[in-house]
Amino acid sequence: MKVRVHVSLKPGVLDPQGRAIHHSLEGLGFAGVNDVRAGRLFELDVANTVTDAALDDMCRKLLANMVIENYRIEKVAA
């Protein structure tokens, strides 16, 4: 089973990297970009026996830092 885990900074957590990317986009002449937040994407290939609870646990224990980040689990059709 392929699983994508999207990790993003919580609202309100300063994202200097996102800001720098935003600034760079403006420098390239792209207008109308209101904000950029940088995140992270993990692609996992896991056995079909791995439960949703285990995936959740993986995110909470390692893939995301729950102090500053949120995560979203997306199952991808194989």
Partner 1 sequence: MAFTSAVITFPGSNCDRDMAVALETVSGTAPHRVWHGDTALPEGLDFIAVPGGFSYGDYLRCGAIASRSPIMQAVIAAAHRGVPVLGVCNGFQVLTESGLLPGALLRNAGLNFVCREVALKVENAQSLFTCAYEAGQVIRVPVAHHDGNYFADEATLDRLEGEGRVAFRYAEPVNGSARSIAGLLNDAGNVLGMMPHPERAIENTHGGTDGRGLFESAIRGLVDA
Asked if residues 4 and 74 have their Cβ atoms less than 8 Å apart, the reply is yes
* Number of H-type helices and E-type strands within the chain: 2, 3
By C-beta, is 14 or 53 nearer to partner 1?
14
Return d(Cα 32, Cα 43) in angstroms, integer: 31
Question: Of 13, 33, 54, 76, which lies in the binding site for partner 1, with binding defined by CB under 8 A?
Answer: 13
Task: Kindly state whether residue 61 participates in binding partner 1, applying the rule CB under 8 A.
Answer: yes
By C-beta, is 65 or 76 nearer to partner 1?
65
Question: Of 47, 53, 62, 77, which lies in the binding site for partner 1, with binding defined by CB under 8 A?
Answer: 62
